[in-house]
Structure 1
Amino acid sequence: MFGLVPVLIDRTSLFEGQNTQSHREWIYRQAFHMGRHIIGYEVQKVQAAVDWLESTADSDASIGVAGYGEGGMIALYSAAVDTRIDAAMVSGYFGPREAIWKEPIYRNVWALLREFGDAEIASLIAPRPLVIEHSPVPDVTDQKGNLTTPSSTDVRREVARIDALTQAGFQDRRLVIGADETTIGPWSDRAVKDFAGMLDIDNGLAHASDSPPAADVANDVANDVANDVANDVANHVANHVANHVANDVAARQLRQVWELDDYTQRLVRDSDHVRNDFYLHKLLPEFKSPQWTTKPEFPTTAPDEFVKQSRSYRKLLWEEILGKLDEPLMPFNPRTRLIANEPKWAAYDVVLDVCPDLIAWGILMVPKDLQAGERRPVVVLQHGRNGLPANIMNGGYNNTAGRLLERGFIVFAPHNLYRGEDRYRWLDRKANSIKATLFSFILAQHDQITRWLASLSFVDGNRIAFYGNSYGGETAVRVPPILERYALSICASDFNDWTRKVADTRDRHSFMISIEWEMPYFNMGSTFSYAEMAYLMVPRPFMVERGHHDKVAPDQWVAYEFAKVRWLYDQLGFPNRRNIEFFQGGHTMKGNETFKFLHQHLQWPEP
């Protein structure tokens, strides 16, 4: 009989401070964005162990997998996906998963609850046998989530669901619970014996009531005498071995962490090519392997087919990466009130119904020189993290709203949900389990906002622009590319190489060393970075506003990513519909070239 114990990534803190992360979270964050998961990595470790066991054991030998806590989770998933595993034992893990968002962050699995609870995963093991031991879970807190032992009632209810998903008796399944419905184990005699029996193994466990043979008693006495004689030497050797083992375990753990880090970072480095093969070169294959040329000019490519085929990518970004709410939009039911009455403009608080339990809120600012029957363009001006619409109305962001109003634009400043620091991060985390993100709500809100704006008698619904700063700039490359009601989009103080920004573990600009743990989107790094999201704007105009001293990212990241956007617009014959302004400033809206861009493409005369 062989036994292997795979090394799992532990919960030791990688570094201390404001952004304390465990080893598990460090791997989870970067892997999640690249379409991988620490759970998947560790399941593959188990599969590698199965490969080795198959190559060394007898051909008819049974293979089982057993685990406790995090190991119990890996055992459950491994047995579900690998039919070479003949039996599984899950201890300290099985139960309802509806509150998975309260568990440690590295258990966050995109869209899990859309299809799977523990019962559904266990049903994939059937008809192979399964032991479920209701043991107390490990004491884990402060891992951006905690572990709590479920009640025996909850465990029994989840186990009963397995029969509802399969058939009674289809699977040899044992639920091991302590006396009076208490927890038991981990590794109780009952659970281990049941598991061993499923693998046809005689585990030979001794019981306290068994009497040792006389020979064993004699040997014990002899051993006691020997131990007394050599006690000092034995203690010295034992301490030396213990210290050596402890140091080796810590070193081996770090090797495992950095091996997974190195593998994931290779995915980050190669992601440009992966995304090109996924989108750009699939729609424009003639550009995948260009030929050397000295021609001074090249013809452009007709954009129609690219625009048409991009619709499926727009749908994929919304539904598979950002998440789309299932509920249909409700009637507007607008509620408005006058909150500012300046000499040249008035401002109104606006609340709209979006879907049950979700509203959209913002401030509508309207110039007072509107003529009867006139329909003007609107600039939707989006605040950044922890901002409010009032910040925009009251002169914030370099008084961009006031300056736009002076130029005759209508301005709408919506509220986005990224306020309250970790409060919105927990909302995003909770949404992930049902295939949604923070932007699932924001997209629905902006969908309703633009519909409502277009319905107003003094608004030209074909001339609604988006201009966002910081987290609002992040919105600029997610919302307008999907919602085609936006005629153009301007991204200020955010545009960069998003895959490196989220998942790079070697650069100080990365979110990997910041508090923004909600930034990874599952598999975005292998499908969409900022260039690919900007491609979805074609043929609509797109612009970037970038301060040289903005610490969001270095200039070279911004220039490199925008060069891809510029190249595509130029190839498709739209060189005048893309622009970037670098200015000698920081993390703000400048309002120089961007204003010219708005006037040009919204067809509104400059003052």
Structure 2
Amino acid sequence: MSRNFTLCLIALCLLTQTIQAQPLENTKPLTLEGDIASQIVTGADKFLLRQLDNTITARERYWNRDSSSAAAYEASVANSRARLAEITGVVDKRKTFGDLQIVAGTGGPVEVAKGESFLAFNVRWPSVRDISGVGLLLKPNKPNGAYFIAIPDADQTPEMISGLADGLPADQQYAKRLAESGFTVIVPAVISRQYESRNNRAKMTTREFLYRSSYELGRHLIGFEIQKVLAVVDWCESRNDSDVQIGVVGYGEGGLLALYSAALDTRIDATLVSGYFDSRQDMWSEPVSRNVYGLLDQFGDAELASLIAPRSLVIEAAKGPEFELPSEGGAPASLDTPDPKVVSSEVARAKKLIGNEQLDALSLIVSGDGYGVFASEKALQSVAAAVLPNSKIAAVGSAPKLCRELTDVQARESQQAHEINAHTQWLLTESHFIRKDFFKDVDTSSVEAYEKTIEPYRDYFREETIGHFDLPFKALNPRSRLIEETDAWTRYEVVLDVFDDIIAYGIITIPKGIDEGEQRPVVVCQHGLEGRPQDVIGEQNIQYYSAFATKLAERGFITFAPQNLYIFKDRFRTLQRKSYPQRKTLFSLIVPQHQQIVNWLKTQPNVDDKRIAFYGLSYGGKSAMRIPPLVTDYCLSICSADFNEWVLKNATTQYNFSYMFTGEYEIFEWNLGGTFNYAEMAYLICPRPFMVERGHFDGVGEDQWVGYEFGKVRFMYQGRLKLKDKAEIEWFDGPHTINGVGTFKFLHKHLDWPEPVE
């Protein structure tokens, strides 16, 4: 009897395992083990790195160089030059001015220092609006009539490369050496990499701090610094009635600015880039302040060099700035000397792009073994002769003698940072009007006219804001496994194929009692930052999610809880870094994952494909603003614990809730200030129903800003389009959580599903 009991027990266990292993109808068994969320992030990383590799050949589609003559060549690259100006934020008109302003006190000499063959002055000049350039003017005793702009690295000061302050050997003080050789030299100060906590919160460099708000508003710290350089070019040009010779020299971050400035402005005759030129394919690992949205989609350093042709460009392979930035709120980064072999390869690629030896004035100088000193005499001699033929770099002179106390470098930087921040805060106040003008072509005379004229904006949002991989979907290949069953519902894990290395994963909960042939509405329930599907079904973090996917299933809705990519902290944030240079974002992958989820849901016999809704909390609310505009199969969207005056939240330095001070360094999206705030994203959901769920004590924002932004949405729905019941907001007395009262009623109403009888 004992033996029979044992056999029965074994048989029962085997039967239970068989039942549990049974997949959902019309799916294969899911055999994937381990942490599927981690595997999704790993797959996305492989995918993005592969796509990054493809950008080198793919960017050829933007170029049609005509190398038949210098004039033809310039004309053929004009559109690319304009695109570079756009993505670096060099879009504002510079101020006109008569002369540099010498900055000196009321007592003592005007000059700050006196060298054997030049005088040094502290100077200031206007750039864009209230942003000024500051630095040094080195005025030779016997000027040769030509000009150089010498740009230091971000960890150097104008005084260091001019020989006025310690920090560099005399032979590497390249601004001083050019002045000693008869060139008039202007040395702009560059924002430093000073690393500190911001508003007592995240630690980051000053460059990253200023990058954040600028990027959100369609500008860039790089762009502001380029504008300062080009304002000096304006000044140099105004000094002579005849054609004036202008050169630019830069090292490290200064090399970046020199390369971009020369690529943008054909008045620069010759350029030396030292310790910077590289392939840029790993720019995602460099300081985030170097991130330029869509750069690698159209430009590598070779393409930038090709914009400088037929003018002279000297590339110096030399030891560059080397450092690491930790992950303490700001973006982690590492910077190393460019590999000399890679530098040589990129120079060769640039020469091939130029395509005509007569237009090729590009040369490579290797300092030492490629890790030697920057601004070597050979490199300086080469660029000097390119600006002014037969000119010679003079022997190193003695150190200049100070005539007055040097500028307080920290105070100067604080003022420069303040000017840029003040400018972005002004842009923030103007952004509403910029977006209003951007949306001027939307016709709200009728719903039909609206739906037709909103489509170009949806296309722009897809291609320019979110980013779109133009790839065919793989076959769905659905796999599933039963994970839980109660008297009320059955629950499965589901995995679908999207692209190579990209899968979609989630948990579907199917209410019991669905009649044969009956089709139910579906609510896709989206977790927030660092979340999982298990959160929304109630296995964990119930204080935020209130098990809303399970509660909705108990009300008769089918629910699906997807795993989105924003998990594992720096691992997913690095995915954003790898996406940006490709003119892509995290949502370039999340959107197709959701499209495949919807595609699969629509194949299920008990799903009504016209009643599939989206409901997300926190980062899931962020998803609610970005996915339904592009996955139009979602018939409505609910944004919980996220809706905001989003551009303000990202760019303001006035409110502590701002992302300017937090560790979400991936959150900033290029030029939302000029295109899509949350109201404009909601316009892409309209005329489908849209709802906001807002707790009064949710720290993601403040009620007045949420109300302000939602007021624009409500006016579009109810005022312009007369859609009286399709846009709602629920305010509740609570924190950052699913409330599940007004939103549940909204779902029942618009998904046409009866509320439970109390």
TM-score if structure 2 supplies the norm length? 0.72
Cα pair distance change 1:389/1:514, threshold 3 Å: same
Q: Name the Cα RMSD after superposition.
A: 1.9
Preserved CA contact (<8 Å) 2:351 2:362: no
Paired residues for 1:328-407 under 5 Å: 328-394=472-538, 396=542, 397-407=545-555
Cα distance in 2, alignment partners of residues 308 and 502 from structure 1: 31
1:442 aligned to 590, 593, 603, which one?
590
How far apart are residue 207 of structure 1 and its match? 5.7
Preserved CA contact (<8 Å) 2:236 2:244: no
2:615 aligned to 464, 467, 471, which one?
467
Asked if 1:432 is matched to 2:619, the reply is no
**For residue 82 of structure 1, what is the amino acid of its counterpart?**
D
Paired residues for 1:71-82 under 5 Å: 71-82=254-265
1:582 aligned to 726, 731, 748, which one?
731
Cα distance in 2, alignment partners of residues 583 and 254 from structure 1: 42
Q: Does the residue aligned with 2:559 lie in a helix, a strand or coil?
A: strand
Cα pair distance change 1:399/1:167, threshold 3 Å: closer
Preserved CA contact (<8 Å) 1:133 1:184: no
**For residue 332 of structure 2, what is the amino acid of its counterpart?**
K
Preserved CA contact (<8 Å) 2:538 2:548: no
Cα distance in 2, alignment partners of residues 282 and 207 from structure 1: 63
Q: Does the residue aligned with 1:5 lie in a helix, a strand or coil?
A: strand
1:537 aligned to 645, 669, 685, which one?
685
How far apart are residue 166 of structure 1 and its match? 1.1
Asked if 1:270 is matched to 2:414, the reply is no
Cα distance in 2, alignment partners of residues 512 and 352 from structure 1: 37
Unaligned ranges ≥5, structure 2: 1-182, 326-330
Cα distance in 1, alignment partners of residues 673 and 571 from structure 2: 25
1:260 aligned to 420, 427, 431, which one?
420
Cα distance in 2, alignment partners of residues 123 and 23 from structure 1: 31
Q: Which moved more, 1:18-27 or 1:435-444?
A: 18-27
How far apart are residue 578 of structure 1 and its match? 0.9
Asked if 1:10 is matched to 2:158, the reply is no
Cα distance in 2, alignment partners of residues 380 and 15 from structure 1: 39
Paired residues for 1:100-119 under 5 Å: 100-119=283-302
1:100-124 CA-partner distances (Å, limit 9, x unpaired): 1011100111111111110100000
Preserved CA contact (<8 Å) 2:201 2:661: no
How far apart are residue 518 of structure 1 and its match? 0.7
Cα distance in 2, alignment partners of residues 90 and 458 from structure 1: 64
**For residue 728 of structure 2, what is the amino acid of its counterpart?**
N
Asked if 1:128 is matched to 2:311, the reply is yes
Q: Which moved more, 1:390-399 or 1:569-578?
A: 390-399
Q: Which moved more, 1:335-344 or 1:391-400?
A: 391-400
1:183 aligned to 348, 351, 371, which one?
371
The aligned counterpart of 2:441 is 282
The aligned counterpart of 2:566 is 418
Q: Which moved more, 1:253-262 or 1:17-26?
A: 17-26
Cα distance in 2, alignment partners of residues 284 and 133 from structure 1: 55
Preserved CA contact (<8 Å) 2:245 2:387: yes
**For residue 281 of structure 2, what is the amino acid of its counterpart?**
E
The aligned counterpart of 1:566 is 714
2:740 aligned to 584, 591, 603, which one?
591
Cα distance in 1, alignment partners of residues 634 and 229 from structure 2: 49
Q: Does the residue aligned with 2:722 lie in a helix, a strand or coil?
A: coil
4+ residue runs over 6 A deviation? none
Q: Does the residue aligned with 2:413 lie in a helix, a strand or coil?
A: helix
1:286-318 CA-partner distances (Å, limit 9, x unpaired): xxxxxxxxxxxxxxx421111111111111111
1:141-188 CA-partner distances (Å, limit 9, x unpaired): 206311111222111100001121012422222211134x33332111
1:545-589 CA-partner distances (Å, limit 9, x unpaired): 000000000000110100101011012011111110000001011
Cα distance in 1, alignment partners of residues 690 and 243 from structure 2: 63
Q: Does the residue aligned with 2:546 lie in a helix, a strand or coil?
A: helix
Preserved CA contact (<8 Å) 2:538 2:546: no
Identity %: 46
The aligned counterpart of 1:556 is 704
Cα distance in 2, alignment partners of residues 392 and 415 from structure 1: 10
Q: Which moved more, 1:457-466 or 1:149-158?
A: 149-158
How far apart are residue 58 of structure 1 and its match? 5.5
Q: Which moved more, 1:412-421 or 1:9-18?
A: 9-18
Cα distance in 1, alignment partners of residues 753 and 475 from structure 2: 31
Cα distance in 1, alignment partners of residues 617 and 319 from structure 2: 48
Number of aligned positions between the proteins = 562
Q: Which moved more, 1:7-16 or 1:338-347?
A: 7-16
Preserved CA contact (<8 Å) 1:377 1:460: yes
How far apart are residue 39 of structure 1 and its match? 1.3
Cα distance in 2, alignment partners of residues 151 and 606 from structure 1: 65
Cα distance in 2, alignment partners of residues 502 and 48 from structure 1: 29
Cα pair distance change 1:543/1:428, threshold 3 Å: same
**For residue 194 of structure 2, what is the amino acid of its counterpart?**
T
Q: Does the residue aligned with 1:4 lie in a helix, a strand or coil?
A: strand
Cα distance in 1, alignment partners of residues 628 and 243 from structure 2: 59
The aligned counterpart of 2:644 is 496
1:195 aligned to 374, 383, 389, which one?
383
1:376-421 CA-partner distances (Å, limit 9, x unpaired): 0000000111111012223531121222112110010001111111
TM-score if structure 1 supplies the norm length? 0.90
Preserved CA contact (<8 Å) 1:566 1:575: no
Unaligned ranges ≥5, structure 1: 213-219, 224-233, 286-300
Preserved CA contact (<8 Å) 1:133 1:185: no
Asked if 1:51 is matched to 2:234, the reply is yes
The aligned counterpart of 1:289 is none
How far apart are residue 504 of structure 1 and its match? 0.8
Cα distance in 1, alignment partners of residues 726 and 394 from structure 2: 79
1:356-378 CA-partner distances (Å, limit 9, x unpaired): 11000000000111111111000
Preserved CA contact (<8 Å) 2:441 2:453: no
Q: Does the residue aligned with 1:183 lie in a helix, a strand or coil?
A: coil
Preserved CA contact (<8 Å) 1:581 1:593: yes
Preserved CA contact (<8 Å) 2:526 2:615: yes
Cα distance in 2, alignment partners of residues 355 and 60 from structure 1: 55
